[in-house]
Amino acid sequence: MRHGIHVKYLVALLLCVGCGLIILSFDVAAISIRRNHVVDCITASFESRRTNESILCNDRGKPRLAYMLYATDARTVCNAVIMAHNIRKLGTPPSIMIVTLVVDDVPAAIVQRLTDAGIVAIPVAHWKQAGVPSNAEWVSSLTKLRIFEARGYDKVIYLDSDAVIQRNLDHLFHLGDAVLWAPHAYYLPETYMFGSTLLVFSPSSNQTFETIERAMATPPRPDYYDMDVLNDLFQTTCGYLPNHYVVLTYTIVDDATWSFTSKAERILSTYVHHFSPGLGIFKPWNTPRTVLDHRDASYEPLFYDILAEYWDHEDAMCAWLQAGNHPTGVENATDGIHNALS
């Protein structure tokens, strides 16, 4: 009798172990499938480890990622071509698109310079602040805000093209969810202010863009531009990137080290240098090249080197601009841009 009971217990135990092994095998299979799906959703060449699994994926199991720029004239088209070249040079793979939003009055021959450089050009309407003189420096800067319109991309890194990118930024595609990520504006006195020279966001819907549109319908003052409205709306809800993600060129010479052990380490760690007027230097296209013959020895060499680099790139990639070999009129410009993009 006792022997029969022991046999029953043994059979029951074996059944339990068998069921457990079956359940475990299903769990392992499910984990394997999920892991393979996640791996498929991450571009293999990214330098940094994945920090966000919420990046949306397209039907092929990969997210649609893009760098985005904008251009309003021939000069900014040239800048976009140079920026795109530098992005690729730093290792961004072809699977990540480089897109430039181009206002629809840029002549087709100029837009063609973008497509020739492997850039996706998308026509957009000008967005100008009412009441601002047409010759004001930032009169067209609101056009930048059209980057928040949904265009089918899952994650976007926006960059101002009047800058020099010095380190690969692909890891920013894996940032966690936030309305946007932007670098801390260390050059302003306010504690919580960010710059709009670099923005990371997920334009999965037009909700953010519509929020911006509503805010711009009644601006508090005429000189109210992209950085102003973005900070007023999102300065306490955005994600802040450290100072060294975008450094203004005239502050290269500063002795600030931030979280680094030395000024030299801070300079080597900088991702983007944004051309900003200061120390007698303006934007490269508004600065005579002869400044290189009169360098201030007390300044960091990089202060002048990035100017020289820009001019070298301009000579190599924008000879058409220097020679004036581009249309100056805008007749039939709207038709022209759509033909160039088709």
Q: What is the average pLDDT across 93-103? A: 98
CA–CA gap between residue 180 and residue 161 (Å, rounded) = 19
Question: In the prediction, which pLDDT does 14 show?
Answer: 60
Q: How many alpha carbons fall within 13 Å on the CB side of residue 164? A: 24
Q: Compute the average pLDDT of residues 244-270.
A: 98
Given pLDDT bands bounded at 50, 70 and 90, which one contains residue 134?
low
Q: Are 155 and 173 in contact (CB under 8 A)?
A: yes
What pLDDT was estimated at residue 338?
Answer: 32
Interval 151-182: pLDDT, tens? 999 999 999 999 999 999 999 999 998 999 99
Query: What CA–CA distance (Å, rounded) separates 339 from 342?
Result: 5
Higher pLDDT, 15 or 69: 69
Does residue 143 surpass a pLDDT of 80? yes
Q: How confident is the model at residue 62 (pLDDT cuts 50, 70, 90)?
A: confident
Contact 197, 274 (CB under 8 A): yes
Note the pLDDT of residue 333. 33
User: CATH second-level architecture of 65-322?
Assistant: Alpha-Beta Complex (3.90)
Domain-wise residue ranges, the chain: 65-322
> Three-state DSSP class for 13?
helix
List, in sequence order, every residue forming a beta bridge with 70; answer none if it has no partner: 101
In tens, the pLDDT along 258-305 reads 999 999 999 999 999 999 999 999 999 999 999 999 999 999 999 999
What six digits make up the tokens of 160?
A: 């101002």
At residue 330, the pLDDT reads 31
**3-state SS, residue 168:** coil
Specify the pLDDT at position 314: 97
pLDDT of res. 208: 93
Residue 21's φ and ψ, nearest 5 degrees, are -65, -40
Q: Between these two residues, 239 and 14, which has the higher pLDDT value? A: 239
> What integer best gives the mean pLDDT of the chain?
82
Mean pLDDT of 7-20: 55
Evaluate whether 291 touches 282 at the Cβ level (below 8 Å): no
- Answer for the pair 174, 46: CB distance below 8 angstroms, yes or no: yes
DSSP 284-339: GGGS-GGGGGG--TTS-HHHHHHHHHHHHHHHHH-HHHHTT-S----TTHHHHHHH
Question: Does the pLDDT value for residue 220 go beyond 70?
Answer: yes
Q: Which band of pLDDT confidence, cut at 50, 70 and 90, is reported for residue 133?
A: low
Which tops the pLDDT comparison, 342 or 181? 181
